[in-house]
Amino acid sequence: MNQTQSEKLLWYVLYTAPRAEKKVQIELQKKGFKTFLPVQRTLKQWSDRKKWIEEPIFKSYIFIETELEKNYYDILNTNGIVKFINFEKKPVVVNYKEIETIQLLLGYTEGIEATDEIFEIGQKVDVIAGPLLGLNGLLVQKNGSHQFLMELETIHQKILINIPSNFLRIVAE
């Protein structure tokens, strides 16, 4: 059975030099690659002014959809790329569902916080209403607000977002 072109295209994660995510994205797109760089607007305060800027949610990470065997070295030879994110010495394939979830979160809320920090185990919850219906994760209370922590398994990152408590249901252990 022959694979079609679309079946060979998979999402991978690249690790970039610090603060090079946007430059890397531009260079990869010039080479014809489909990329995804999740960013959010953040108000930054300097001593003399405030300014809205777009910052990557995952520092030094950029996602790329490609046929790896064909394009591996061309991708790595792009200025600003350090390496592919690997687990067990193989580039990590990111699940399409996780890419779609990140895109959905970017359209749903502002103030997404990504972290690889280990949180204390909280209550497991399912999202039962709203645009994130069907997701599950942990409920974390931080600064008095309800926040939902969702782990993106393939890249070992977590996303922390504010979500109304009536959109959540505690999962019985």
User: Hey, what long-range contacts does 138-146 have (CB within 8 A, 24 or more apart)?
Assistant: 139/168, 139/170
Q: So what's the pLDDT on residue 73? A: 96
Neighbours of 156 (CB within 10 A): 11
For 22-36, how does the pLDDT look when each residue is reduced to its tens digit (9 = 90+)? 999 999 999 999 999
CA dist list (Å): 97 to 68, 90, 147: 19, 20, 21
Q: So what's the pLDDT on residue 101? A: 83
Q: So what's the pLDDT on residue 65? A: 97
Q: So what's the pLDDT on residue 147? A: 73
Q: So what's the pLDDT on residue 156? A: 80
Handedness of CA 61, 66, 69, 75 (dihedral sign): negative
Q: Report the alpha-carbon distance of residue 43 to residue 51 in Å, rounded.
A: 6
Q: Report the alpha-carbon distance of residue 126 to residue 55 in Å, rounded.
A: 29
Q: So what's the pLDDT on residue 2? A: 42
Tell if the pTM clears 0.75, that is, is over it.
no
Domains assigned to the chain: 5-94 (3.30.70.940), 107-170 (2.30.30.30)
Phi-psi group of 106: left, alpha or beta (phi > 0 → left; psi -120 to 50 → alpha; rest → beta): alpha
Residue 23: its H or E element: helix 21-30
| Residues in the chain with pLDDT values less than 70 | 1-7, 108-121, 141-146, 165-166, 173
